[in-house]
Structure 1
Amino acid sequence: MHDIRAIRENPAAFDAALARRGMGAQSSEILALDQARRAAISQAEAAKAAQNAASKQVGAAKARGDEAEFERLRALVAEKKAEMAALEEDARAGDAKLTAILETLPNTPLAEVPDGADEGDNVELKRWGSPREFDFQPVEHFEIAGVARDMDFATAAKLSGARFVVLRGAVARVHRALAQFMLDLHVEDHGLREVNSPVLVRDEAMYGTGQLPKFAEDSYRTTNGWWLIPTSEVTLTNFAAGEILDGAALPLRFCAHTLCFRSEAGSAGKDTTGMLRQHQFEKVEMVSITRPEDSLAEHERMTRCAETVLERLGLPYRTIVLCTGDMGFGAQKTHDIEVWVPGQGTYREISSVSVCGDFQARRMTARFRPTDGAKPEFVHTLNGSGVAVGRCLIAVLENGQQADGSVELPEALHPYLRGRSRITPEGELA
């Protein structure tokens, strides 16, 4: 949510920031609504004052027997009461219209974010590792002999429809090991606090992180009104909703491994084979809640946390900064980390790490007190994948595939697999 005071103070800068995201000017309509709303509030206050003044005089007129003045004042009290009620309703309606506009406008990008229209204008920041040179033609994850039997899309389709998968045996074990490895790394090495959080949330939680109202079609809702989370960013960030945190306790750093659910609205025809784009998937999410002056440094820190996952697994990747036209709704700046997938011969997104400034904090009224007795200020929020478990499984399988259909697994996973180091061509751990 945007700060209306900042828009009042510099409407041109607000419109220029939105223009960088491909949007037309919004400040004129916003400020007209704001002015009308404030005028209604001011007039309502004036009517209330007039009502109070007349009320005080009614008794005096009655006491001195001035019946005409008594009736005039009583009528004035009733008139001002009705006028005040109408003006207050106008103010409420104006506030609702103003909020309806503000809550659907994306966050404004930081000055350092590159301008651009789409993913073609993103800027590469770094690369780590070199893609493996194969002496055979690498295949996609679901085509590897040792994997194909236990990565079952047909049974999943029978159970649930398209874009679901059933994992069995060695593949399921490696998937579980990856999640455990990520959690241990983030908790033990990166100092994040592990959380086990719900996957069903109320409207308020989805609204707080920006999924509602604009992106309702991208998520699933139960018949009794709960939402299935698209990411545990929703739950972890909302820990601060409605709170005034102790500034000395910041930053708060959390991680959680959860199921995530996305309808993939608008993605028809994209990544229809394999595990790249699923309605149900697992992710280890990172969330930080910081002081405003610390959020950009925390963004770099979180990016390194996600990169370290891939480095420990020996997976080549590149890190890019998204341009203004490719950033998510709530982000001020985003780093995407893309892992190399030999089966497609390209880099694919496996983590997205964003700093949101106070955009989400304003929606959920999340504040902190800088020092004892100081006025509360809005926190800054950040979120990032640390990383997507299914996509990491894809990268591990494709990068480790062998000519005979077996898969050599990263050394970092061996302790989680009781010392086993490979998937055989027959699909067994060995």
Structure 2
Amino acid sequence: MSPVHDFVVIGGGIVGLATAHSLLERYPDARLLLLEKEDAPAKHQTGHNSGVIHAGVYYVPGSLKARLCQAGNRSMVEFCERHGVTHEVCGKLIVATKPEELPQLARLEERGRQNGLDIVRLNAEQVAEVEPHVRAVAGLRVRTTGIADYPAVCRVLADLIQAGGAELHYGTRVTGLDYGAEGHRVSTTRGEFSAHYLINCAGLHSDRVARLAGTDPQSQIVPFRGEYYELRPDKRYLVKHLIYPVPNPDFPFLGVHFTRMIDGSVHAGPNAVLAFAREGYRKTDVNLRDLTESLRYPGFQALARRNLKEGAAEMWRSFSKAAFVHSLQALIPEITAGDVIPAGAGVRAQALTPQGGLVDDFLIVKGQGALHVCNAPSPAATASLEIGRYIVNRLPAFAHLASHQTRPQADVSPTRQDVTA
């Protein structure tokens, strides 16, 4: 067994790396170990997302998501500027394409203003000035939304962590956890490690890691694949910013939209379908354990029953390019099937309660000598630096490290809307 570490962080996505970075900011002399099962950081959710720096317009005012997203919108831009990571604060449009969507657009505008965002209401003519090819009756312009190269952010964080003295072990999958008087014994595919305190940022497998540690998150990760098309290079002029529809309040996902990526490409999507594997980026990816767990879980069964019509439409879009393009034409009517080509897909790790409710906020569960990040979907990348600081502020005092602390980060006080435990 290796020498005892002060902290072990499980997961080398952006949340795990940001948490490790925050730990070293608070405790620069800490013996820190980060374990990642892949051969490099950001191989899953972080490396497959759309790269958006969210402003926080959708989230319940006062919720952890809303507060950490707003703070993260600022700190992520600052981090990118400081470390030379490619990014752009380009803004986005949320548009109502028919009159019956106007009340929901107004509610979204009010929520954004409650969250303190810079939002401008646009009429149809003003929408056309910003995005000439969009058909809409009204819209909201959210100026502080941006895009960033999140894998590059992760590479910078990994370099900073290693420069701070931490150990990063790639290709190291956790297979067992045992907690005792001396702390955690962590069994992996590359031997055993030990640590006084454990932080679980395992993303798609976070609920399983929590249960390995003897903690019940009272939810289960169900993976949803989001599939994308992208505009052909000669059609990229159709989209100048980020373009989103008014979300359907009865469906838990945002609907297909257009995202200008940091490399200049324009992605269209995603849909939202059950992935047949937690790392199922292709339709043909099937993991029997993952699929059986999802289908047998009462929470997924309840969610599927409530959203049967919408779920069937999402599945149809997965197999029908014509149906996918038809959804895109609601925003940009002149797009044709010949204008788009298949792009990659991502998998969202969504925690569901046994009753079928989507855990709508970040979920951080306390265990024995541990904290488990058991729900961190979008906007987790945007908020990652703030999630890391929030976690560090929730840790118990470590007397043997206290004399070496840097100045503490400002706390983000919990509210009644928090779903942290």
Instruction: Tell me the TM-score range normalised by the shorter chain.
Output: under 0.3
Tell which has more relative contact order, 1 or 2 (C-alpha 8 A, sep 6+). Answer: 2
Which structure's residues are more often strand, by fraction? 2
Tell me the TM-score normalised to structure 2 length: 0.23
Tell me the TM-score normalised to structure 1 length: 0.22
Which structure's residues are more often helix, by fraction? 1
Which of the pair has more CA radius of gyration? 1
